[in-house]
Chains A and B, each alone.
Chain A
Amino acid sequence: MGKRVLLIEDEPNIIEAIRFILSRDGWSVLTHADGSTAFDAVCAQVPDVIILDAMLPNRSGFEILRDIRARDETREIPVMMLTARGQQKDRDMAERYGANRFMTKPFSNAEVLDVMRQLAPS
């Protein structure tokens, strides 16, 4: 069984596309769409990598990332943040809260695959 990635994103067609390309690359893809319960999902699944959208319903990705970094069981999980806003302050915030990578929409499938292989080498 391949490495497990938890994709926290609320846009269904992005979820479908990322699930497709990562599955074909051997990943086991779990998904979650609601910000308010996303951290619970992280704690329950403890994936190898997390893809985390910054702008989610009910709770921002930055707050979720802060919780992930504050808990011993989840602190070391590599996180790639996705955002539609490429502003420097968003990058700074992602870095401050402990994101491993930061990717601005629209991104290419190849970029996602490349980063994921770097974050969790087989």
Chain B
Amino acid sequence: MAKTTLTGTRIRSERQRLGLKQTELAARAGISASYLNLIEHNRRRIGGKLVLDLSRALGVEPAALTEGAQAPLLESLHAAAADHPEVPAETARIEDFAGRFPGWAALLAARSARVARLERRVETLTDRLTHDPFLSSALHDVLSTVTAIRSAAAILADTEDIDPEWQARFLRNIRDDAHRLGDGASALVRHLDQSGERPAAAGTPQEELEQLLEVSDFHLPALEGPLPQDPAALAAAAPGLTSPAARSLARAHFDRYRSDAAALAAGAFGRALAQSGFDPLRVARLFDVPLAMVLRRWAALAGPQGGPRPGLVRADGSGTLIFRQPTQGFALPRFGAVCPLWPLFEALTHPNVPVRRLVELGEGAPQRFLTYAISSATRPSGFDGPLVHEATMLILPEGLVPFPGGDALPIGSGCRICPHEACVARREPSLLSAAD
């Protein structure tokens, strides 16, 4: 199937390939032809059961209709509009825009994403200028040496009656300082050259690690099985990790992954999960391991087994996301604060209390996700050390496990691009409601 950008366009393309009329496909999917027409022209967003019905009627996998489609593009367009609140973009008609002009919409989204990447890069470089100890020290040395040379040169030039002994001393100082200046400038250039070799795409060590893991679907066969590789060696040899900080993060991630894999071998874990009715708490009790480990293991193993990949996020005590494994349709913002209604934060404020929440994102035909979350509060360095919180949330898209009944909790990505205007947890006005 041609990979067009929007779900509706893909449905139309697949229907035409099969030689079906709109009325025929609509009947098979149990919807009206006029509604299907709106869907095919990207005037209506769909998700959940309707995607399953249409994919079944077309004889294709649901992912073929939705994977990489629509949601990320619309999310990107909303984010682009949110970045410029002074521009009255018609956000209420974003789907219409993306449907009519998919090329321009993709271009706008790509430009917006590039600007965000570059802004992040600038922020990172500014941080480095401020906090990089080598850079700070080297610049200080260069400027101090220049000051000494300038002062000595001015003394020699402006003091007509200078004593020959002082004159010789200042000339010697200038010569010595000139050498030091040359050495310092060379060291600075070498340092900046090495920095320039780092890729621009991954602005932070966390992003470098996430890009590396994305390639393998967050599954690491090298750390599975009875003879796993050494995490330190794996981190040292990992491609794309250019900074020491990224390698350090990778090492910590690989260490934890190997521990998880040792405690929860893939085969036994999969069988236990199925036998437990996909209840991660029961699996945790069965293996006598923390629930967070079960959630991490599920996220690492479910992706390669086919079907939609689950998502996983971890937050520290400040609420900052310290790990992101994305899943289709559940936007994980890179910058700025996320929706405070995520079950992740319910868990964060209730340490050791397991949380299960059915949530939905988006408006019209929202996508539903089953989430499991837990947080821990520990003192890693003993009773005299600080209390350290960490929360983990597993995000399961529809199709992976049976969902429980009941209403789903409406949540968003972040307040600025969230359509739930009357949300009680709203932090700031939504750009969407302002534009309506």
User: A residues touching B (Cβ–Cβ < 8 Å)?
Assistant: 11, 13-14, 16-18, 20-21, 24, 55, 84-85, 87, 105-110
Contact = CB atoms under 8 A, between A and B. Distances in A.
A11 B148 CA distance: 8
Given A13-B148, A16-B173, A20-B166, A85 B155 contact: no
Q: Which of B143, B147, B166, B173 has the most CB of A within 10 A?
A: B147
Contacts of A109: 151, 154-155, 158
Given A18-B151, A20-B155, A106-B150, 16 more contacts: A11-B145, A11-B148, A13-B148, A13-B176, A14-B147, A16-B170, A17-B151, A17-B155, A84-B140, A84-B143, A84-B147, A85-B136, A105-B146, A108-B151, A109-B155, A109-B158
Nearest to A109: B154
Contacts of B136: 85
A99 to B, nearest CB: 18
Contact of B151 (A21, A55, A85, A87): A21
Contacts of A110: 154
14 contacts: A11-B147, A14-B144, A14-B147, A14-B148, A16-B169, A17-B155, A20-B155, A24-B159, A55-B140, A84-B143, A87-B130, A105-B146, A107-B147, A108-B150
B152 interface: yes
B151 A84 contact: no
A17 B159 CA distance: 12
Contact of A108 (B139, B140, B154, B176): B154
A16 B170 CA distance: 9
A34 B147 CA distance: 19
Given A13-B177, A16-B169, A105 B152 contact: no
Q: Which of A24, A87, A106, A107 has the most CB of B within 10 A?
A: A106
A105 B147 CA distance: 6
Nearest to B140: A84
A107 to B, nearest CB: 6
A16 B143 CA distance: 16
A85 B139 contact: yes
A17 B148 contact: yes
Interface in B153-175: 154-155, 158-159, 166, 169-170, 173
A58 to B, nearest CB: 14
Contacts, number: 59
Q: Name the interface size band of chain B.
A: 20 to 34
B151 A14 contact: yes
A106 B146 contact: yes
Contacts of B177: 13
A109 B154 CA distance: 7
Nearest to B158: A109
A17 B143 contact: no
A49 to B, nearest CB: 18
A87 B131 CA distance: 13
Q: Which of A24, A105, A107 has the most CB of B within 10 A?
A: A105
9 residue pairs, one from A and one from B, having the closest CB atoms: A17-B151, A13-B148, A84-B143, A106-B147, A84-B140, A105-B147, A105-B143, A13-B173, A106-B146
Contacts of A84: 139-140, 143-144, 147
A108 B140 CA distance: 17
B139 A105 contact: no
A81 to B, nearest CB: 14
A14 B176 CA distance: 13
Contacts of B154: 108-110
A105 B141 CA distance: 10
Contacts of A106: 143, 146-147, 150
Contacts of B166: 20
A21 B170 CA distance: 12
A79 to B, nearest CB: 18
A17 B140 CA distance: 18
Nearest to A54: B140
Nearest to A53: B144
Nearest to A14: B148
B155 A11 contact: no
A71 to B, nearest CB: 28
B133 to A, nearest CB: 12
Nearest to A18: B151
Contacts of A107: 147
A106 B155 CA distance: 15
Nearest to A17: B151
A13 B143 contact: no
Q: Which of B148, B155, B169, B173 has the most CB of A within 10 A?
A: B148
Nearest to B129: A87
B329 to A, nearest CB: 42
B21 to A, nearest CB: 68
